[in-house]
Amino acid sequence: MSKLTKLGVLGGVALLAACTTAEQEASLTEKLSAAAIYEPVVADGETTIADALSDETSAGVTGFMGFSDGTVKPVQVRTNSDQTILYISIDGAPAIEMARDYDGLGYSEYSTDTEYAELSYSSSESNYVYFDSEELWGDGHYGLETPTEALSGTARYQGYANASGENSFLWGDLTIGVDFASGGLIGLMSGAYEQYGEESYEESEVIGSIAGTVSGSRMAGVLDINSENVSGQLDMLGAFYGTEGNTLAGGMAGSLNGETLGGGFSTSTRFREECCFELR
């Protein structure tokens, strides 16, 4: 477990975040490299998510999902021209073809005999994706990634995270700070971890620190939780979405108290405050 160290300040509030060692930095960089198996669709201010999804000349729109086996995987999704068929590829595997069961406002559900998926496509930045099969389930976010030239200076993101296991659920608020020049990323999560069984239920408060790295329009990090009743780590993989990088979202997965779990995170409300964020 990494030692907690004061690394930065967000909005005047000191952040406690785990220092990344050279070995951890190399591991994060390796994870980013391994996740780059799909070519992203870059936001241009004109193409919508729905247009990009249904462009049959494109391989699809990319994102990241956290799965119940404790792994974070890149994902690529696309539909046919009228969005009645979904094609979803996970971690470079051949795309699974799924027929639409339900069509809502900016949201659809798809299935086969053994798989089920949910897909939102109303946001101009990042959108939700869920997948469930006989082997595993998971959720996360995908979207139109930010042009790298639009990512500069420092930024603060706030949002939420959630992950579920066979008998557990993690949820909480996130604050993440990014220094695009140095590639540094730090943050905090504050929330709860629920564990339940047939005749038992326990909810514990959790506080976790995030340390990571940014490369281009993507990030990799580790959420380190070492609370009174809950301990463990979750990997995070995500991307900056939209023309200006106003959203940072992706997938997270790992192990808490010995149980694997996976899910996603989404943050936005970007603030450029050079005076209020620094890595040191």
CATH number for the domain spanning 161: value is: 2.40.160.90
Q: Which amino acid is at 176?
A: I
Strand partners, 174: 159, 189
CA distance 187 to 181: 17
CA distance 182 to 16: 18
Same domain, residue pair 129 and 203: no
Closest CA to 16 of 208, 182, 184: 208
Task: Tell me: do 31 and 103 sit in the same domain.
Answer: no
Instruction: Please give the pLDDT value at position 123.
Output: 87
> Both 265 and 183 in a single domain?
yes
pLDDT at 180: 94
Does 160 share its domain with 27?
yes
Extract the tokens encoding 52: 């990009």
Residue 47 lies in a domain: no
Asked whether residue 250 is assigned to any structural domain, the reply reads: yes
Write out the two tokens for 197: 């069984």
| 170 within 8 A of 153, measured Cβ to Cβ | no
Query: DSSP characters for 121-173?
Result: ---SSEEEEEEE-SS-EEEEEEE-BPPGGG--SEEEEEEEEEEEESSEEEEEE
> How many distinct structural domains can be found in the chain?
2
Residue 265 lies in a domain: yes
Domain assignment present for 279: no
Same domain, 266 and 173: yes
Last residue of a domain, one of 128, 143, 158: 143
Q: Are residues 18 and 56 in the same domain?
A: no
Element (H, E) at 251: strand 247-256
pLDDT (tens, 9 = 90+) of the chain, 280 residues, equals 333 344 444 444 344 444 566 777 788 888 888 889 999 999 999 999 999 999 988 999 999 999 999 999 999 999 999 999 999 999 999 999 999 999 998 999 999 999 999 999 988 889 999 999 999 999 999 999 999 999 999 999 999 999 999 999 999 999 999 999 999 999 999 999 999 887 788 999 999 999 999 999 999 999 999 999 999 999 999 999 999 999 999 999 999 999 999 999 999 976 555 434 444 3
Beta bridge partners of 51: none
Long-range CB pairs of 269-275, under 8 A, 24+ apart, other chains included:
269/156, 269/157, 269/158, 269/159, 270/155, 270/156, 270/157, 270/244, 270/245, 270/246, 271/11, 271/155, 271/156, 272/153, 272/154, 272/155, 273/11, 273/154, 273/156, 274/153, 274/154
Position of tokens 């339940």?
196
Domain span at 77: 52-143
Q: Is the dihedral of CA 31, 162, 110, 197 positive or negative?
A: positive
Give residue 12's pLDDT. Answer: 43
Last residue of a domain, one of 77, 108, 143: 143
pTM (global) more than 0.85: yes
3-class DSSP state for residue 199? coil
Three-class DSSP category at 24: helix
- Could you say which of 84, 113, 143 is where a domain stops? 143
Query: What pLDDT shows up at residue 31?
Result: 85
- pLDDT, residue 15, reads 43
What pLDDT does residue 242 have? 95
Looking at the fold, whether 59 and 169 belong to one and the same domain comes out as no
pLDDT score of 24 = 75
**Is 45 within a domain?**
no
Residue type, 54: S
The answer to whether the beta carbons of residues 180 and 272 sit under 8 Å apart is no
Query: 154 and 262: one domain?
Result: yes
